[in-house]
Structures are given as C-alpha cells and as structure tokens.
Amino acid sequence: MVATAQRALAAGFEWLELHAAHGYLFNEFLSPLTNQRTDEYGGSFENRARLLVDTARAIRQVWPERLPLAVRLSPLIGCPAAGTLSRASRWRKLLKARAWI
C-alpha cells in the first residue's frame, strides 16, 4: 500500500483514503464478529485495529502532512455488537494518536 500511495502522490493526487468499511479487509479485522484471531491482530480493540493503524502509519511516512489521509469506517454494520458510533469515535482517536490521520 505504501508503493500505491507513492504512485498516487507522483500522479498528482491530493487525497488518499483507506477503505475500512462495508466488509472490506480492514473492516473484517476491526469487527469483533468477524475477527476471531487469537494473535496480535485479534481480541482487544487495539489489537483488532493494529492492521489499519500500522498501514496508516506506514502510508503517512510517504504521504505529506499537508495532504489529507482519510479512513472510511463503517461503525454501524447492522449489529450493535459489531459497531457503534462510540466505537467509531475510539477508532478515530486511536488513528489520530498512533498514525497521524
């Protein structure tokens, strides 16, 4: 994904978005319903967010601070146990603190 961000920057893009909603890969890791892993990418809220945070952090290393790096989240996916607005707020705070989104 870092190489993709570099190519987007070289092509003149001024906005980058990580799609972490609607059942895409990041969303599968974020949801306690679909993420049944028992390693460092599963279990706690912070562990489930690890892939997204690590990816955003790596992209931010090549994507300039002056340009937006957005994350599309899907906090309400039809099941209160899977996502809430409160959880979306926690994701935002975590990304801002650890990945400079």
Residue 30 tokens read as 């974020």
Q: Active-site residues: which are they? A: 24
- Judge contact between 79 and 32, C-beta under 8 A: no
Q: What DSSP line would sit under 40-60, residue for residue? A: TTSSSHHHHHHHHHHHHHHHH
Cα(101)–Cα(97) distance, rounded to whole angstroms?
8
